[in-house]
């Protein structure tokens, strides 16, 4: 009984990892420049913001909540970073304040969800608009671009002597921390319990409200970090940075096998999904496949992500029912 969800999960993850391998193979056949260090470096740095936010989004969705305001927090934090830098604030302080703003934005989300008992879907649709509006209030339609190369290199550059983008290293570290926190700590187990059955979790003494508040703060904080990466990577602080990114993040999380109803999912599946989407898009772009087709492919992948685990579950249920039926029949005979 307890073993089954784990097994299906591994099944979906294995399938995803297989698909990633297949996509890598397909990409190298499509274009000879695909499997070059430079291209793989571009590929991974293109998806780093999505990958970063997907980590905390995984936690949020496993706890049966959602945060749609992440891309707007990126925009707002990017705008703040731009305003602070333009006003002559020292970079370390500006970065710190940017992270504080992200955490505060997440706290507002979490407070509205937990203290007022509002659904996170509604709350974060609201703050999606609110935070983007604040981004424009902060920076207008200006762009701040004169960040010093010392800092933009952190977003744009690679680890000396390799072609590994620096932000990807940060992502790897954060991914390990998230995976450990989710899969090997009481905090992680609490998330699964809350997502699977909130009432039961409450009765077993879990501090549901507090856990959720922490999740939203983490989500805001991660979005602020992604905002810093984004701003440095494009050397451009703008209020419209990362518009629509929340959909790419949620797409990756769902494709990664995290149940939209909570209680199920893993970090490795989500990471595989982020890279699968990134690899497919990169390979098709290299092969000059038009953008419309790319969008269609991404859409189909998403449908597959909802359909795949569901179909698997249904097939299994039918099989079990049959097995059960034949077993009882056998007993009667």
Partner 1 sequence: MKHRTLTLAALALTLGAVAAAQAGIPKGITIAFLPKQVNNPYFTTAWKGGQAAIKEFSGVGKQVGPSDAGASSQVSYINTLLAQRQKAIVVSASDQNALVPYLKRAMQQGVKVVTYDSDVAPDGRHLFVSQASSDTIGRDQIKLLAKQINYSGEIAVLSATPNATNQNAWIKVMQDELKKPEYKNMKLVKIAYGNDDDQKSFTEMQGLMQAYPNLKGVISPTTVGISAAARYLSSSPYKGKVALTGLGTPNQMREFVKNGTVQGFALWNPEELGYLASYAAAALVSGQISGKEGERFKAGKLGERTIGKNGVIILGPLTVFDKSNIDKFNF
> Which positions lie near partner 1, rule CB under 8 A?
31, 33-34, 36, 38-39, 42, 46, 140-141, 143, 145, 152, 156, 230, 234-236, 238, 240-244, 282, 285-286, 288, 290-292, 295
Q: Give the nearer residue to partner 1 in terms of CB position, either 1 or 288.
A: 288
Q: Nearest to residue 258, comparing CAs of 240, 271, 248, 244?
A: 271
Q: Distance between CA 308 and CA 261 in Å, rounded?
A: 15
Kindly state the DSSP code that residue 158 receives in the 8-state scheme. Answer: B
SS3 state at 38 = helix
Output the smallest distance, CB 306 to partner 1, in A. 24
Query: Do 109 and 120 contact (CB within 8 A), yes or no?
Result: yes
38 vs 122 by CB, closer to partner 1: 38
Q: Which is nearer to partner 1, 284 or 301 (CB)?
A: 284
C-beta of residue 283 within 8 angstroms of C-beta of residue 26: yes
Tokens of 169: 């290293």
β-sheet bridge partners, residue 237: 144
Residue 227: HSE in the Cβ half-sphere, 13 Å Cα cutoff? 38
CB of residue 45 vs partner 1: minimum separation in angstroms? Answer: 9
Residue 140: left if φ>0, alpha if ψ -120 to 50, beta else—which one? left
């Amino acid at each position: 009984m307890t073993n089954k969800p784990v097994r299906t999960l591994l099944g979906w993850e294995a399938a995803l990892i297989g698909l990633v391998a297949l996509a890598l193979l397909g990409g190298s056949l499509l274009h000879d420049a695909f499997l070059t260090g430079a291209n793989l470096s571009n590929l991974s740095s293109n998806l780093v913001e999505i990958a970063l936010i997907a980590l905390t989004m995984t936690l949020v969705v496993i706890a049966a909540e959602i945060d749609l305001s992440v891309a707007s927090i990126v925009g707002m934090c990017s705008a703040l970073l731009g305003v602070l830098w333009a006003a002559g604030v020292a970079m370390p302080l500006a970065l710190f304040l940017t992270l504080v703003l992200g955490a505060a934005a997440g706290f507002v989300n979490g407070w509205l969800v937990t203290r007022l008992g509002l659904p996170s879907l509604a709350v974060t649709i609201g703050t999606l608009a609110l935070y983007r509006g604040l981004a424009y209030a902060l920076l207008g339609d200006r762009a701040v671009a004169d960040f010093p190369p010392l800092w933009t290199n952190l977003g744009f550059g690679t680890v000396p002597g390799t072609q590994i983008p620096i932000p990807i290293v940060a992502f790897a570290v954060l991914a390990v921390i998230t995976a450990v926190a989710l899969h090997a700590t009481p905090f992680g187990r609490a998330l699964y319990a809350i997502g699977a059955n909130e009432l039961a979790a409450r009765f077993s003494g879990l501090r549901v409200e507090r856990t959720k508040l922490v999740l939203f703060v983490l989500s805001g904080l991660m979005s602020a970090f992604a905002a810093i990466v984004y701003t440095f990577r494009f050397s451009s602080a703008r209020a419209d940075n990362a518009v629509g990114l929340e959909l790419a993040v949620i797409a990756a999380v769902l494709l990664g096998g995290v149940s939209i109803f909570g209680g199920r999912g893993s970090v490795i599946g989500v990471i595989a999904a982020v890279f699968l989407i990134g690899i497919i898009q990169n390979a098709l772009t290299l092969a000059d496949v038009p953008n419309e087709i790319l969008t269609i492919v991404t859409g189909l992948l998403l449908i597959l992500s909802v359909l795949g685990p569901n179909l698997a579950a249904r097939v299994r249920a039918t099989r079990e029912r049959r097995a059960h039926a034949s077993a009882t029949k056998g007993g009667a005979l």
